Amino acid sequence: MLNSFRARLIASYAFVVFISLFLAGSGFLWMGQQYQMQREMERLANIVLPLNVYVRHLELAGVPTSEIAARLEEQAQQLNVRLLLIRTTDRLVAADTADELQGYYLPPAEESMPGQGGRLWIGRYMAAAGPFVTVSLAGGWSPAPGRPGDWLPGLAPRHVVMVAVPQASLVSAWLALTPRLVVVGVLALLASLPVALWLSRSISRPLARITRASEEMARGHYEQQIPVESQDEIGRLAAAFNLMAKQVAHSHRTLREFLADISHELRTPLTSIRGFSQAMTDGSLQTPAEYAEAGRVIHEEAGRMARLVEDLLYLSRMEAERLAGERHPVDLRALVGACVRRVERRATAREVALAFDAAALPAILGESHRLEQVVDNLLDNALKHTPAGGQITVRLSPDGAGRGVRLTVHNTGSVIPPEEQERVFDRFYRGQGASSAEGSGLGLAIARRIVEAHGGQIGVTSTPEDGTMFWVWLPARAPTAVSEPAPRPGYLALGAKHPGTMAQ
């Protein structure tokens, strides 16, 4: 019956309501009983004094005891109490309106009534009909004739009057309310059940949605999102689940794309290796020159596969956040200058002008060989896509706020369409018309991971008028999370413009 979370919630709400009603009702009855007893005792105290004055008047008037007892019977019926007429000399009961204790000895009371200054006493006795409580005058005190409410010592009457009630009657009125309180409690419990149902539904419904979405994800349907209807713990759980589902779907999609990309990248060199090796074994090649050419192609394709595998392993380590190497102060100006000098010969051979401009820079912390790899990738990418007669300009400058260093690599004669600019940093991405001989498609992806691992940012701007510029921003201090985006550099209009598509 209580196998579901919602049923347990409803049961817990009902139990809490029941306990609350039970404790509130019990406390109400207890306080009501005390109040009822106090009021009843005050009523008896207000009765006992006039009756003793009345009996004293009758005694002084010479009325016999039997007549006094008869008059007390009438008073008892009118007041709905039990009256005892006690002889003061021997404490024997001279008259009892209940016709039970005539002639019996009644011990004096031992409990003084609070708030009466010791003038009234409360007695508790046991009779055949059950326990009863009395209120009487204190011994040695009597009312003065004709002066009700005035107490004088030494005027001992022959009789005193006790007012008695059954002990059960003191709380009987409140005990009579118990069935009504039970009915009210049951009604309150029934009224609370719809509220409990609504509350349990508001809690269990998001959890049920999360459960169903989790089951769908277990079946391979990763694109799961559930509505966030509140900002409480359940709402935050739903938001966290949506984020997790989005990340899982992205990871699964990336894994599929990665497997498709790697299989595509390996297919071309494997085809070449298999074709030339088969030609070497089946006798298709005749001359030593043909064998040498086949061996050269196999060697190049094997080297290409090795570089591809190394790049993939390196990129996977970075994506697994394993780039927590020791950081040292890096002279970025000297590092970039060395990278520019290494490509000067290649730029001259391709008839591309190469310029380097560096201002005074603040020191940064990082891994010099990783940052060198970023610069090499950007320069190699620019050389591949700058036509003869074009120009490559490398610039280093501090940013305007002095928070970091900005590196730009600008080349003329190529352009990246706007729809492709956000994808150039993806793995295996190549622009339209690019061939596999131009690279593995991992260089810019590796550069982005290295820059992000150093707490920096990398981006690209490209237009037919200004060419293409890659920019890198690195913080001047130890690599931390950057809360504000790095300022994007402006375009550099250098050299001739040669529209075309740049394969990144």
Q: Which amino acid would we find at residue 60?
A: L
Rounded mean pLDDT of 314-320? 64
What's the whole-number average pLDDT of the chain? 76
Could you tell me what percent of the chain has a pLDDT over 70?
Answer: 75
Q: Looking at domain 328-475, which of 2.60.40.10, 3.30.565.10, 3.40.50.20, 3.10.20.30 is its CATH number? A: 3.30.565.10
Q: What pLDDT, in 10s, does the model give residues 93-139? A: 888 888 888 888 888 777 777 767 667 888 888 877 778 888 887 75
Q: Which residues, other chains included, contact 297 with Cβ-Cβ below 8 Å and sequence gap of 6+?
A: 272, 273, 276
Considering the four listed CATH numbers 3.40.50.150, 1.10.287.130, 2.70.50.60, 2.10.25.10, the one that applies to the domain covering 236-319 is 1.10.287.130
CA dihedral (25, 28, 33, 36) positive or negative: negative
Helix (H) or strand (E) holding 290: helix 288-319
pTM exceeding 0.75: no
| pLDDT value for 408 | 93
DSSP state, residue 408: E
**109 membership: H or E segment, kind and range:** none
Using the structure block, give the residue that is written with the tokens 């413009």: 497
* pLDDT above 70 for 438: no
Beta bridge partners of 153: 141
CA 47 – CA 67 distance, rounded (Å): 20
Residue 494 contacts residue 412 (beta carbons within 8 Å)? yes
| Separation between Cα atoms, residue 453 and residue 125, nearest integer Å | 93
Bridge partners (DSSP) listed for residue 130:
127
pLDDT exceeds 60 at position 144:
no
Phi/psi of residue 358, each to 5°? Answer: -140, 130
Band (21; pLDDT cuts 50, 70, 90): confident
Break the chain into its structural domains and give their ranges. 5-106+156-174, 236-319, 328-475
